[in-house]
Amino acid sequence: MRVLVTGGAGFIGGGIVERLAARGDRVVVLDSLTAHEKAPDLPDPVELIVGDLNDEDAVRNATEGVDAVCHQAARVGLGVDFDDVTGYVADNDLGTATLLRALWRRSFAGRLVVASSMVVYGEGRYRCPEHGDVRAEPRRRADLDAGRFDPRCPHCGTALAWATVTEEAPLDPRNVYAATKVHTEHLAFLYGRESGARVCALRYHNVYGPRMPRDTPYAGVASIFRSALESGGVPRVFEDGAQTRDFVHVHDVARANVLALDSDWTGACNVASGEPHTVGDMARALAAAFPGAPEPVVTGEYRLGDVRHVVASPDLAAAAIGFRAETAFADGMRAFASDPLR
Ligand code: UD1
């Protein structure tokens, strides 16, 4: 099988490329290499095309003769502020559109797997003891300033408890990056309808592991904490540290992509470990595995664009593409304390 992996030199894409190449697939990587100081080590005989998704010539070359496409290239993270909006839309929306148009012009009707994110849900799922399932409103500055971090029931004001998010939850993007991931999914599914390609979107939860990019405004919390420890600093846990996520190991995420490429299932599914932990737990687990590390500090700071709890149900991915995470949190975090970053 000839597979195009966009973003194949990156943190997640690199792991997918290794797996595909190891089993004998012919892999073409399209990567702008903007996130790299030097050309990455790609396994032989992977073909590397250096170019942006908006570089029509590079995309035309990369899509030639492919049987399947695994679209990982994207600008990720929360960014600095709204000023980043055109960069995100150009890279993620227009970039995906340029890729899909190139596939359309090649009459591509093979397998298309796209990287999506749990951020498409916005806040996770919540329950009020009195009113059952309720939607959490965007968090207000006044509540956060007062240390009221948990969303409240819109009917009675009681602090809400989280429940696991399933894929039929409404899409409710709450930052620019999230909006571009919703659009990426929609464009990919529209492409599938018009071309007959079978499309699967994988909604990654908080991915961590070896070769994670270092601390930047675009990096996730695991990388920020690990980078802090490496430079002799202290992980700074925002809010009260009880915000909950699903930290899923990059090896599992790469495996999920290969399973998705091999399956025919069409739709969007969570890619998660199924083992939720608080950000405070994560900071402590990482610091405990890092020789001589200080205790993390809980700062009470907040970022308005952050959601409080997002915890995935991993069940659909298991039923649809046969994916269940294999790396336990304790093992993955212990290893992450000494994994190389990029
Ligand atoms: C992260 C990614 C998002 C990705 C999603 C799923 C970033 C910025 N966000 O979203 O792109 O789609 O996972 O893989 O990469 N925090 C601290 N201390 C810090 C930084 C953050 O306590 O120094 C807290 C935040 O307040 C937040 C939590 O950690 O509550 C997670 O933050 P982060 O990883 O940045 O964002 P996610 O919303 O989880």
Distance CA 283, CA 69 (A): 36
Which residue's CA is the closest to the ligand 1 atom numbered 8? Answer: 77
| C-beta atoms surrounding 283 within 10 Å | 27
Q: How much is the pLDDT for 44?
A: 83
Which residue's CA is the closest to the ligand 1 atom numbered 19? Answer: 221
For residue 92, report the phi and psi dihedrals to the nearest 5 degrees.
-90, -45
Pocket mutation for ligand 1, best pick of 12, 221, 257 (most atoms within 8 Å of C-beta): 221
For residue 24, report the phi and psi dihedrals to the nearest 5 degrees.
100, 5
CA of 226 to the centre of ligand 1 (A): 13
Q: How much is the pLDDT for 110?
A: 98
CA of 191 to the centre of ligand 1 (A): 30
Which residue's CA is the closest to the ligand 1 atom numbered 38? Answer: 306
Q: How much is the pLDDT for 107?
A: 98
Distance CA 145, CA 139 (A): 11
Q: Can you tell me which atom of ligand 1 is nearest the CA of 248?
A: 14
Select from 118, 97, 224 the least CA-distant residue to 174.
Answer: 118
- Confidence tier at 137 by pLDDT (50, 70, 90): confident
Q: What is the dihedral of CA 248, 249, 251, 255, to 10 degrees?
A: -10
- Confidence tier at 42 by pLDDT (50, 70, 90): confident
Distance CA 224, CA 229 (A): 9
- Confidence tier at 197 by pLDDT (50, 70, 90): very high
Which residue's CA is the closest to the ligand 1 atom numbered 21? Answer: 221
| C-beta atoms surrounding 335 within 10 Å | 16
End-to-end CA distance of the chain: 29
Lowest mean pLDDT among 30-44, 144-158, 196-210, 301-315: 30-44
User: Environment class of residue 82 by beta-carbon count within 10 Å: exposed (0-12), middle (13-18) or buried (19+)?
Assistant: exposed
- Confidence tier at 139 by pLDDT (50, 70, 90): confident
Query: Which amino acid is present at 296?
Result: P
The mean per-residue pLDDT over the stretch 155-170 comes to 93
Find the residues whose C-beta lies inside 6 A of ligand 1.
Answer: 76-78, 117-119, 177, 204-207, 219-221, 224, 236-239, 243, 245, 279, 303, 306-307
Contacts from 100-106 at CB under 8 Å and sequence distance 24+? 100/187, 100/188, 100/191, 102/56, 102/59, 102/60, 102/62, 102/63, 103/63, 103/69, 103/191, 103/195, 103/197, 104/191, 104/194, 104/195, 105/60, 106/63, 106/64
Q: Is the pLDDT at 259 greater than 80, yes or no?
A: yes
Residue 102 DSSP SS3: helix
Q: Is the pLDDT at 188 greater than 70, yes or no?
A: yes
Q: Can you tell me which atom of ligand 1 is nearest the CA of 78?
A: 8
Higher pLDDT, 61 or 175: 61
Q: How much is the pLDDT for 37?
A: 60
The per-residue pLDDT for range 275-294, each reduced to its tens digit, is 999 999 999 999 999 999 99
Distance CA 336, CA 212 (A): 9
The mean per-residue pLDDT over the stretch 30-44 comes to 80
Percentage of the chain modeled with pLDDT above 90:
85
CA of 296 to the centre of ligand 1 (A): 16
Q: Is the pLDDT at 153 greater than 70, yes or no?
A: yes
Residues with Cβ within 8 Å of 314's Cβ and at least 6 positions away in sequence, in order, are: 270, 272, 273, 274, 323, 324, 325
Q: Is the pLDDT at 38 greater than 90, yes or no?
A: no
Q: Is the pLDDT at 39 greater than 70, yes or no?
A: no
Q: Is the pLDDT at 80 greater than 90, yes or no?
A: no
Distance CA 95, CA 34 (A): 14
Distance CA 205, CA 117 (A): 6
Query: Which amino acid is present at 1?
Result: M
CA of 219 to the centre of ligand 1 (A): 8
The mean per-residue pLDDT over the stretch 238-252 comes to 97
Q: How much is the pLDDT for 249?
A: 98
Q: Can you tell me which atom of ligand 1 is nearest the CA of 243?
A: 30
Catalytic positions are 177
The mean per-residue pLDDT over the stretch 93-107 comes to 98
Q: Is the pLDDT at 8 greater than 90, yes or no?
A: yes
Q: Is the pLDDT at 68 greater than 90, yes or no?
A: yes
Q: Can you tell me which atom of ligand 1 is nearest the CA of 224?
A: 23
- Mean pLDDT, the chain, whole residue set: 94
For residue 203, report the phi and psi dihedrals to the nearest 5 degrees.
-90, 95
CA of 136 to the centre of ligand 1 (A): 18
Sign of CA dihedral 253, 259, 263, 269: negative
On the CB side of 77, CA atoms within 13 Å amount to: 19
